[in-house]
Structure 1
């Protein structure tokens, strides 16, 4: 078995494996939110949401900013870089399967032409 150190894509996929965190990403796609708003949206305690947000921050998917008028309030927003890296990886996987299916199609058509009377 081949093992390698976790990549950014690994951390992104691990963070997105949880449905609550995917839901947070869906909300943040629309606009930045305060941590309390996110907790309320999921009917979740602030400490529970804080744990999810910590995972999302550590994976690099979200960033937090303080408000100028109240430094205690944190606003969360998505970071584009991890999603771009994930998209790039998915494009590579998709290209592989397109090549494989293209080769299969060519083989099937060649085989079919060879069997015609």
Structure 2
């Protein structure tokens, strides 16, 4: 199990109850082991972060990025967050909310390809 801050358990529950529209759309496509029979978790605490989606079997984190992620501060925060998660051996895939809401099939296809590739790598 990857390390996480236990103080994030309650906030992660709140986030699961209040997912964005993009998170809900993506969740409907990856939940219940729809991608290669693998389990995804939503709003999962990892280190001192709560990631949008996490697949432990593929060491994959998926983030749904709203407008705040494309500001100078948001980009810097995401860069340091991604670096910390990469240090744990995790790959971070980022999709804009707009991309998820308008091109969900392409997003799911990309996730599928990345998961398959990560499972085939030694």
Fold shared per TM-score above 0.5:
no
Q: Between Structure 1 and Structure 2, which shows a larger proportion of strand residues?
A: 2
TM-score range with shorter-chain normalisation?
Answer: under 0.3
| Higher radius of gyration, 1 or 2 | 1
Q: Between Structure 1 and Structure 2, which shows a larger proportion of helix residues?
A: 1
